[in-house]
Each structure stands twice: as structure tokens, then as C-alpha cells.
Structure 1
């Protein structure tokens, strides 16, 4: 299993602070005493949701992503940028905001570090079932890229085919869809971890990042 480890940090410089993320430079000491310069992006983390209806269709959005200049098919997802907010509450909020749905059954599908070579983002993917329509949270207004998203549905089987054929590229979608397919075909959805399962990898990461104000 993955295990937490932290090489000694000789110095840290905050190079830039953005609206969501910050960019830092750290000089770290390897076990053989080599000094390395590493630049990476600090990120608050996120949750994503594979919302599966009774016909095994998944609720999705098509969202423009400027860094890669593609409109990607993605599951509902959002930042964990509310201090102290429960992960499941954040996921439930995002499901209502992005696709207007609520769910009666929630499970943990998978967790990932989305790009561990240069980004500290941790993400938890949920499976949501027992879907029903839900209003957007009070005061929520879509803006930016979200204002131009559209909602689409696709079968889980077609999404797996799209991932394997190279037609779908969102890491949130890839992880969520393949995890859902694996759960379905192996031990079944009811064997997944409960929605309130511990997330030790993220908790360890947050503990180590307390020196960076605002994260």
C-alpha cells in the first residue's frame, strides 16, 4: 500500500498565489543527501461523483477546460475549499449544483492524487445511487465555465468503452468510471466502503501543508 513519507525540506518559497491554487518551490534533501529543487502546485482537493440511475446511466457535464483547450465530458465534481466541511456534504452540494440531483445511497469508489509529480490535489470519488431531482442550493449561481456547461447522460458500459478507446480524457471520469465498473463486476456496489470512510492519505497531506497559509 502507499505510505506517507516526507523528505527534509531545507527551504520553501511561495512563487505565486492564485484564486484556487498556489505555486511553490522547495529544496528537499534526499536520503543520500542530494539537494533537489522541486516546484509544484498546492491545491485544496476535490470530490467527484459517479451518479448512477436505475438503468446504469451516469449523469455527466460537458465543461470547457482552458489549460487543455477541450470541452471534456466529466462527472459532477468540485473543490474542497470550505474549511471543516465534511467530504460527503461537499459531494452532495456539487451534485445538486451541477446536475440538479440528490441521492439516497452514497459509497466511496476510489481516491487519488490526480497528478502527484507536480500537484498536491487529492480527490475522492463517490458512487451515488437512488437519484432524484433536487434544487440548487440557495444562493448558488453558475458563473465562468460552469455557466456554459450542459448536462448529458451515458451508460456506464459506453463510458468504459470510451475510456479504453481514448475518446474520454478527464482523470475524474476515467478513475470514477473504471472504479464503478470494477466494483460492479467484482463484489458489487454494496461491498464498497461507506460514504464516511476515513481518508488517511488526504489527512496526512493536509497535516503537512499547514505551514502554507490559505491551504
Structure 2
């Protein structure tokens, strides 16, 4: 197999040299183009610098999203909890990890993750860790998502369980071995982005002896963009 084309002069760097960085471009205007029940769409004119020093102005419609958390609950036999839920925009029932919006004012991401696990799966966890952070669709949305690993699972007492509504009312829970979940992702049988990212990230973390996990309370500045 041939190497990378030398004439393109693309340097090879180390992993420590690559990290996403926050950059503030000049906004010429911003207006709410659409106000929705969960999120808004904002139309913004932003200045983008060119290679020669010139500045161009572009208009972008951005889904202003409050952020979300996802929970990969792993039992003692390394089975992943999945929930089947109908998603109307794609007209499909998807197998998903417990997840939810950061839509409670002042609620910390870890608190939201604990709440979502209890509300959607009737579970509490003794051990929590951050697996991975990611932007769901940065070309058009501000949605940031943090995936937690939850272990040491136990049931929420029956009298304290959440009364699920709407699409959550008919969710079907199953447990799938982690290795089979990875296979299902790679064979194209699972499509929910949180499931895909979470399953592959936890599989990689396990292969590294769980050394890549981060503290559950680690700050997450990208997590919330309030409306």
C-alpha cells in the first residue's frame, strides 16, 4: 500500500497536538427564525476570515439546543441496557441508551443522567464515569452530548418509579452483551447516534482496561447552551 501523497505536504502530528478549540467569530446579526417546543432555530450572519486576510460574511441557520446526556448502563456480566423507542422524524423504532435533554434549569449533567436512568429504565447506579463527549451535528446544531458509563445497577423501588408518557410509555428494555452490541453497530443494525458512539466508546474503554474513563463530576463547558 502506498503512502500519503508527498506533494500534498500534510504533516503527521501526535495526539497531544490535536484538540478542538473554542473560537469566537464576529456576529453581524442574530435573530430567532423559529421558536419550538424544545429548541429554537437562530439565523446568524457571521464573519469568516480568508487565507489572504479578506473577510466574508455567511448566513447560517442554527438549531440552538440545550444539550443532552446519555447513559450506557452495564451490568455485572457486561450486558448493555437498550430501550426500543419510536422516533417519528425517521419513522422507525430505534434501540437506544437511556438519554435526555439538559432542559431543567440549573441541573448538573450528572444529576440529569441519574434522573434519566431512573425515569427511563427504573435503575440507579453506584458507579458513574464519563466515557466520551461529542457534538451531535455541529454543521447545523449546537447540541452537545456527554455519555456516562453506569455500573453497580439496582432497581428503583416500585412505589418511586416514574410514570412514563408519550413515546417513552411503550419503551421495551433488553440487555445485550457488549460484544454483540458492537457487532450490531458495525453491521448497520443500530442507528441511534448515542447508541453507536456509546457502544463503541465503552468497548474501546474496556480494551484499555477502563483507563480512559474520566471522573463523573468532570466539568463540561460545552454541555449547555441555554435558550
Q: Which TM-score applies when normalising by structure 1? A: 0.90
**What does 1:157-168 align with in structure 2 at a 5 Å threshold?**
157-168=179-190
Instruction: Extract unaligned runs of 5+ from structure 1.
Output: 207-213
The aligned counterpart of 1:80 is 102
Distance 1:190 1:130, change over 3 A: farther
CA contact (8 A) 2:118 2:161 kept: no
The aligned counterpart of 1:200 is 221
**2:20 maps to 1:2:** yes
**What does 1:126-205 align with in structure 2 at a 5 Å threshold?**
126-135=148-157, 140-186=162-208, 188-189=209-210, 191-202=212-223
For residues 29 and 191 of structure 1, what CA distance do their matches in structure 2 show? Answer: 38
Distance 1:202 1:109, change over 3 A: same
SS of 2:37 mapped into structure 1: coil
The aligned counterpart of 1:66 is 88
CA contact (8 A) 1:101 1:135 kept: no
The aligned counterpart of 2:65 is 43
For residues 161 and 88 of structure 2, what CA distance do their matches in structure 1 show? Answer: 26
SS of 2:197 mapped into structure 1: helix
Question: Which of 116, 124, 127 in structure 2 is aligned with 1:105?
Answer: 127
For residues 136 and 92 of structure 1, what CA distance do their matches in structure 2 show? Answer: 17
**2:56 maps to 1:34:** yes
- Aligned-pair CA distance for 1:21: 0.6
CA contact (8 A) 1:45 1:123 kept: yes
Distance 1:89 1:183, change over 3 A: same
For residues 180 and 137 of structure 1, what CA distance do their matches in structure 2 show? Answer: 32
Question: Which of 23, 40, 43 in structure 2 is aligned with 1:25?
Answer: 43
Higher radius of gyration, 1 or 2:
2
The aligned counterpart of 1:15 is 33
SS of 2:89 mapped into structure 1: coil
CA contact (8 A) 2:66 2:102 kept: yes
For residues 145 and 195 of structure 2, what CA distance do their matches in structure 1 show? Answer: 12
For residues 84 and 161 of structure 2, what CA distance do their matches in structure 1 show? Answer: 23
CA contact (8 A) 2:131 2:212 kept: no
Q: Which TM-score applies when normalising by structure 2? A: 0.86
Equivalent pairs, count: 205
Distance 1:34 1:135, change over 3 A: farther
